[in-house]
Amino acid sequence: MQNSIQNEQHIEVILSLYHFCLQAHEMRQRLRQTHLARMIDDEIGGRYLANLGLPLKQSLDKARIHIFQNSERIITAPHSNVLH
Protein backbone atom coordinates (compact mmCIF):
# COMPACT_ATOMS: atom_id res chain seq x y z
CA MET A 1 0.00 0.00 0.00
CA GLN A 2 2.78 2.44 0.96
CA ASN A 3 4.65 1.64 -2.26
CA SER A 4 1.51 2.34 -4.30
CA ILE A 5 1.05 5.72 -2.63
CA GLN A 6 4.69 6.62 -3.27
CA ASN A 7 4.36 5.60 -6.93
CA GLU A 8 1.28 7.79 -7.30
CA GLN A 9 3.12 10.70 -5.69
CA HIS A 10 6.06 10.24 -8.05
CA ILE A 11 3.74 10.20 -11.04
CA GLU A 12 1.99 13.36 -9.81
CA VAL A 13 5.37 15.10 -9.51
CA ILE A 14 6.40 13.97 -13.00
CA LEU A 15 3.09 15.17 -14.45
CA SER A 16 3.49 18.55 -12.76
CA LEU A 17 7.07 18.88 -14.00
CA TYR A 18 5.96 17.90 -17.50
CA HIS A 19 3.25 20.55 -17.39
CA PHE A 20 5.64 23.31 -16.29
CA CYS A 21 8.37 22.26 -18.76
CA LEU A 22 5.81 22.33 -21.54
CA GLN A 23 4.74 25.83 -20.55
CA ALA A 24 8.38 26.97 -20.43
CA HIS A 25 9.03 25.41 -23.85
CA GLU A 26 5.99 27.14 -25.37
CA MET A 27 6.95 30.47 -23.80
CA ARG A 28 10.50 30.09 -25.14
CA GLN A 29 9.16 29.43 -28.63
CA ARG A 30 6.99 32.56 -28.53
CA LEU A 31 9.72 34.77 -27.05
CA ARG A 32 12.36 33.79 -29.60
CA GLN A 33 10.48 35.72 -32.29
CA THR A 34 10.23 38.98 -30.32
CA HIS A 35 12.44 41.85 -29.25
CA LEU A 36 12.20 40.52 -25.68
CA ALA A 37 14.49 37.64 -26.64
CA ARG A 38 17.22 40.10 -27.61
CA MET A 39 16.69 42.01 -24.36
CA ILE A 40 16.95 38.80 -22.33
CA ASP A 41 20.14 37.83 -24.16
CA ASP A 42 21.59 41.30 -23.52
CA GLU A 43 20.73 41.22 -19.80
CA ILE A 44 21.44 37.58 -18.90
CA GLY A 45 23.90 36.50 -21.51
CA GLY A 46 24.01 35.49 -25.12
CA ARG A 47 21.76 32.75 -26.42
CA TYR A 48 20.13 32.04 -23.06
CA LEU A 49 16.75 31.20 -24.60
CA ALA A 50 18.33 29.18 -27.39
CA ASN A 51 20.35 27.13 -24.91
CA LEU A 52 17.21 26.32 -22.92
CA GLY A 53 15.70 24.56 -25.92
CA LEU A 54 17.53 21.23 -25.91
CA PRO A 55 17.35 20.52 -22.15
CA LEU A 56 13.66 21.38 -22.13
CA LYS A 57 12.96 19.14 -25.12
CA GLN A 58 14.97 16.27 -23.63
CA SER A 59 13.16 16.59 -20.30
CA LEU A 60 9.78 16.66 -22.00
CA ASP A 61 10.63 13.61 -24.12
CA LYS A 62 11.87 11.61 -21.12
CA ALA A 63 8.84 12.54 -19.03
CA ARG A 64 6.46 11.72 -21.89
CA ILE A 65 8.04 8.28 -22.35
CA HIS A 66 7.86 7.56 -18.62
CA ILE A 67 4.27 8.76 -18.42
CA PHE A 68 3.09 6.64 -21.33
CA GLN A 69 4.92 3.57 -20.02
CA ASN A 70 3.05 3.96 -16.75
CA SER A 71 -0.22 5.17 -18.23
CA GLU A 72 -2.43 2.64 -16.44
CA ARG A 73 -1.52 4.27 -13.10
CA ILE A 74 -1.75 7.80 -14.45
CA ILE A 75 -5.38 7.62 -15.48
CA THR A 76 -6.42 8.31 -11.90
CA ALA A 77 -3.63 10.78 -11.08
CA PRO A 78 -4.42 14.49 -10.78
CA HIS A 79 -2.93 16.72 -13.51
CA SER A 80 -3.14 13.90 -16.07
CA ASN A 81 -5.04 16.21 -18.40
CA VAL A 82 -1.84 18.16 -19.20
CA LEU A 83 -0.44 15.63 -21.68
CA HIS A 84 -0.58 16.67 -25.32
Question: Is residue 81 a part of any domain in this protein?
Answer: no
In tens, the pLDDT along 21-69 reads: 999 999 888 988 899 888 888 888 777 787 888 888 899 899 888 888 8
CA dihedral sign of residues 51, 52, 53, 58: positive
Q: Is the pLDDT of residue 82 over 70?
A: no
Question: Is residue 83 a part of any domain in this protein?
Answer: no
77 vs 23, residue with greater confidence: 23
Range of the domain at 62: 2-75
Query: For the chain, how many structural domains are there in total?
Result: 1
Q: Which amino acid is at 23?
A: Q
Specify the pLDDT at position 23: 92
Question: Is residue 28 a part of any domain in this protein?
Answer: yes
Question: Is residue 80 a part of any domain in this protein?
Answer: no
